[in-house]
Amino acid sequence: MPSSVITSLSTSSRGTNTSGNSHSTARSPSPTIARYASASAAKPPTNGVKATPPLPLDLGPTRDFCNCFWGLDDAGANVLFSRMRTATQTITELEDFWRDRARIEEEYAAKLKALGSRVLGKEETGQFKLSLDTLATETSTQATAHAQFAALVKSELLASISAYAEKQAADAAQVQAPLEARYKTKHTAESAIMKAREKYESNCLRLASYTQQMAVNPGKDVERLQMKIARSQQTVTSNEKELETAVKAIREATVRWQKDWKEWCDLCQDMEEERLDYVKDVIWGYANAVSTLCVSDDQSCERIRVSLDQVDAFQDVESFVEECGTGIAIPAPPSWATFSPSNTNGLSPPPVQSASFTRVSARPAVPPSEQPPIKTTRNSRETSRESSSSPPVVPVKPAMAINTENGINHSIPKNIPPAPADSADAAVLGL
């Protein structure tokens, strides 16, 4: 072992072990130790003392990965490895998202189809019946549109992102995984060098201590100290050669690692830019597909509204009367006569009267401007609302309890007077 090294370590040992000296000389750490010491000093304190805010990092003039992800203790490696794992997780989550959306649309389309197959208002008539048929038909149309959207999500979005996920997994297996393995091997070797360095320095301090004892007490246990010094010198020489070989090997490995890391940074930046553009385009296409589906649903709803515009309550009621009316004849109650030879039936034919009542409605009065004209019926072609010989219809406003809660007119008639009847009506009704 060189004498300069022994002298230096001896001086350091004396400066450290001297009692009563508050200004003891501190041993300067080696460059390798200083590197790790700097990394550990950058960690936040654990004693509860507020740490000084770190200085802003110098990221250089560009924002390229190959220039901005280095740092002490290869800090950039963990950041980029984590970023790529996050990218893979995001693609997996989007793949699950498209799969679940397609499943939801398929289930929704099946339920809409079953709903649209129902028959609504089987006994209804007129335009109202046609509107109910339109409602069922357009519901089936919406079911078809949602089924087509589900198929599009599966064939376009899900298939595309599944292929991208496979490519991403292949890249990770071929490039990222070997690089992470080399990164772990490199750090394992550096940790071993740290331990070997500490062991080497400890043996050097021990050898310096034995040498110091020989200088202070030359006549005491000389042979024993000489044997310890010889063994220590052999150990230190062996440690020094091993450490020198290991440092040389790790230096070569570091050079290779820096080259590989620079190439990986470039590849990683390319993959990230490609991934972000791809996901942006996929989500954009998804939004367009959903918008198209909404337009299709709105068109179906518009066709329903157009059909409802043709519904007129007065006309539908009149059409119902014309198609299904049973006439105006009101038979009187049968009368009984005692049996006589001239009356073998015992009952006389009941007289028939014509219905000529005035409608009493519980609905709110409709303004004359909103009342539709009365159509000419089959039985009385000359009848009309404007030129009728019968007295005009006066809206009757019976006493009623009106509840307008929630905007709904719940009209409950109270004590509605009977319809006026002439003498003929009274006779028919037994009044």
| Tens digit of pLDDT at every position of the chain (431 positions) | 443 333 333 333 333 333 333 333 333 333 332 333 333 334 444 455 455 555 456 665 677 888 888 888 788 888 998 999 999 999 999 999 999 999 999 999 999 999 999 999 998 988 999 999 999 999 999 999 999 999 999 999 999 999 999 998 888 888 888 888 888 888 787 877 888 888 888 888 888 888 887 777 766 677 787 788 888 888 888 888 888 887 887 888 888 888 888 988 999 999 999 999 999 999 999 999 999 999 999 999 999 999 999 999 999 999 899 888 999 999 888 776 666 666 655 556 668 889 889 989 888 876 666 655 554 444 433 333 344 334 444 443 343 333 434 333 333 343 434 444 444 444 433 43
**Residue 291 tokens, joined:** 């918008």
Closest by Cα among 415, 294, 428, 262 to 355 = 428
Q: Please tell me the predicted confidence (pLDDT) of residue 220.
A: 64
Stated pTM of the model: 0.60
Give the DSSP H/E element, type plus range, for residue 401: strand 400-403
DSSP assigned state of 267: H
CATH topology of domain 72-190+264-309: Substrate Binding Domain Of Dnak; Chain:A; Domain 2 (1.20.1270)
Cα–Cα dist 52/38, whole Å: 15
Q: Please tell me the predicted confidence (pLDDT) of residue 3.
A: 39
Q: Please tell me the predicted confidence (pLDDT) of residue 103.
A: 96
Q: CA-CA distances (angstroms) from residue 321 to 133, 325, 377? A: 21, 5, 10
Provide long-range contacts, Cβ within 8 A and 24+ apart, for 182-185.
182/257, 182/260, 183/74, 183/77, 183/81, 183/257, 185/253
Q: Please tell me the predicted confidence (pLDDT) of residue 347.
A: 56
Residue 378 near residue 327, CB atoms below 8 Å: no
Q: Please tell me the predicted confidence (pLDDT) of residue 119.
A: 93
